[in-house]
Structure 1
Amino acid sequence: MKPFTHLFFDLDGTLWDFERNSTETLYELYHELDLQTTGVPEFTIFFSDYHLINENLWTAYKRHEITKELLSIGRFVQTLALYGINDENLAMRMSRLYIERSPSKTNLLPCVNEVLEALKPHYRMHIITNGFSEIQSRKLRICGLDRYFDTLITSDEAGVNKPNPAIFDYALKKAGADAAESLMIGDEPEADIEGARLAGIAQLYINLNDKPTIQPPTFEVKSLCETLKILSTSLS
């Protein structure tokens, strides 16, 4: 008997290369909108400032302290304000273009298609993500990853964010799975790994950046490519 029948994957940073895709999109907008002429410093400084503000606002969003609309626009409003630019129309335009273009990027982490192709015949597979429903579904479709997954569970839909165990409970119900037969695969020690642990789901931690977990995960690897070694007993 297989130890697991359902695999739940995180999307951003686990399968979809969020850092590369986001950087490419912001770089395009920086030059297309000629931001340097408005007083924005060179791209590396702009990106570093934006990245920090975006992370802080995402943390606030996960805690239900702000809406997704405020997150989407506020990250650009606050970044521009660092340089004395108080132009809400520009911030709204940047937000709209970013949301339109970023999901169309197709950079994936190493081994994604190889791993999913090998696992698909043996498991029911699902996505569980804190991203926005309309954006995450577009990413999956444009990258061609939607063919691998039975269900997409987003925090929008569930009404709570990872690591809240309620989103994992919601995902299990939607997928028709039991916690005992499920495995969560992700790169975030708190959102993916601790959240799954609290929900009674086994965890496979893809530790890309040597971040410690709160409790030891069920399994740990350094890249998605190594997951087939962990699950190899089922691939026969």
Structure 2
Amino acid sequence: MSEIRAITFDLDGTMLDRRATFEVFARSQIIRFARFFTDVDHDLFFDRVVELDRDGSTSKERVFAGPAEDFGLPAEAVTALPADFRDRFPLECVAFPGLDDALSRLNRAGYRLAVITNGGVRIQQRKIDVMGIEPAFDYIAISESEGVRKPDPEIFRRTLERLDVSPEEAVHVGDHPGADVAGAKAAGLRAIWHRGPRFDAAPGADAEITSITQVPEVVTRLGAGT
């Protein structure tokens, strides 16, 4: 087994706490659009949109349109709330506790680091900027600019070429069993699954973590072949 020289990271659900971020955003949105909610129970509306969001797996039009109608919000809300999400959500980013320390430890250990994330450049880059993590990384691959999305192995291979390492020398960290674990394995990388609330298992993962703070130790263990 080759020594690990590079680590690639998914963004949403791996470094960015997607659920906590959406909850912060949803609370602040109700305050920003108070004119829509004068006769609405704020907590009930909040609970409904958080439930429908499903950690980002549901379109935002669907997340907001149903509750807007059910709670009797003005027609304007059906378009205004999803548009506000696209503008404001990246500004509310909440990182998982211990992320900065974990990245610092990996930087000090000399690993090459990259982000591999699906999504639009504008939104994903804003998240990274708000989190303040770009200096820790040698390369950032966003699917829109790369022209290919996870789980396509090409986005992993292209990123490793930028890092000048082989797939056998790299490990990917992500929360999605398909996009992250299966995609990385298909490209020849090892894969660490960040277990979260959305999925019960990630077949094929080489290791499992429940906190981003575990990455340095797990990478060391995988590199040692234990």
Instruction: Return the TM-score normalized by structure 2.
Output: 0.82
Q: Indicate how the Cα distance of structure 1 residues 51 and 106 shifts in structure 2: closer, same or farther if over 3 A, else same.
A: closer
Q: Residue 110 in 1 paired to residue 97 in 2?
A: yes
CA distance in 1, matches of 2:162, 2:24: 34
Question: How far does residue 232 in structure 1 lie from its aligned partner after superposition?
Answer: 3.5
Aligned partner of 1:155 in structure 2 is 143
Question: How far does residue 113 in structure 1 lie from its aligned partner after superposition?
Answer: 0.8
Question: How far does residue 118 in structure 1 lie from its aligned partner after superposition?
Answer: 0.4
1:83-107 residue CA offsets vs partner (Å, 9 max, x unmatched)? 56683x4333223322222212242
CA distance in 1, matches of 2:142, 2:103: 20
Determine which of 124, 133, 155 is the counterpart of 1:136: 124
- How do 1:1-236 and structure 2 match up within 5 A? 3-34=3-34, 35-37=36-38, 42-52=44-54, 55-57=57-59, 73=61, 75-77=63-65, 79-81=67-69, 87=75, 89-121=76-108, 122-209=110-197, 211-215=200-204, 217-232=205-220
Question: How far does residue 40 in structure 1 lie from its aligned partner after superposition?
Answer: 7.9
Paired residues, number:
219
Q: Indicate how the Cα distance of structure 1 residues 231 and 134 shifts in structure 2: closer, same or farther if over 3 A, else same.
A: same
Aligned residue type for 1:218: D
Question: How far does residue 82 in structure 1 lie from its aligned partner after superposition?
Answer: 5.1
> Gaps (5+ residues) in structure 1?
58-71
CA distance in 1, matches of 2:149, 2:69: 28
1:9-54 residue CA offsets vs partner (Å, 9 max, x unmatched)? 0111111111111111111112331343476872244324531495
Identity of matched residues, %: 23
CA distance in 2, matches of 1:21, 1:116: 20
- Cα contact 2:151–2:184 (8 A) shared by 1: yes
- Cα contact 1:189–1:214 (8 A) shared by 2: yes
Of residues 158-167 and 33-42 in structure 1, the stretch that sits farther from structure 2 once superposed is: 33-42
- Cα contact 1:190–1:214 (8 A) shared by 2: no
- Cα contact 1:203–1:219 (8 A) shared by 2: yes
- Cα contact 1:53–1:79 (8 A) shared by 2: no
1:152 counterpart SS class: strand
1:151-206 residue CA offsets vs partner (Å, 9 max, x unmatched)? 11112122332222232233233443321111101122222111111111111112
Q: Indicate how the Cα distance of structure 1 residues 172 and 199 shifts in structure 2: closer, same or farther if over 3 A, else same.
A: same
CA distance in 2, matches of 1:202, 1:82: 46
> Gaps (5+ residues) in structure 2?
none
Q: What CA RMSD, in Å, does the superposition of the two structures yield over aligned residues?
A: 2.9
Q: Indicate how the Cα distance of structure 1 residues 111 and 74 shifts in structure 2: closer, same or farther if over 3 A, else same.
A: same
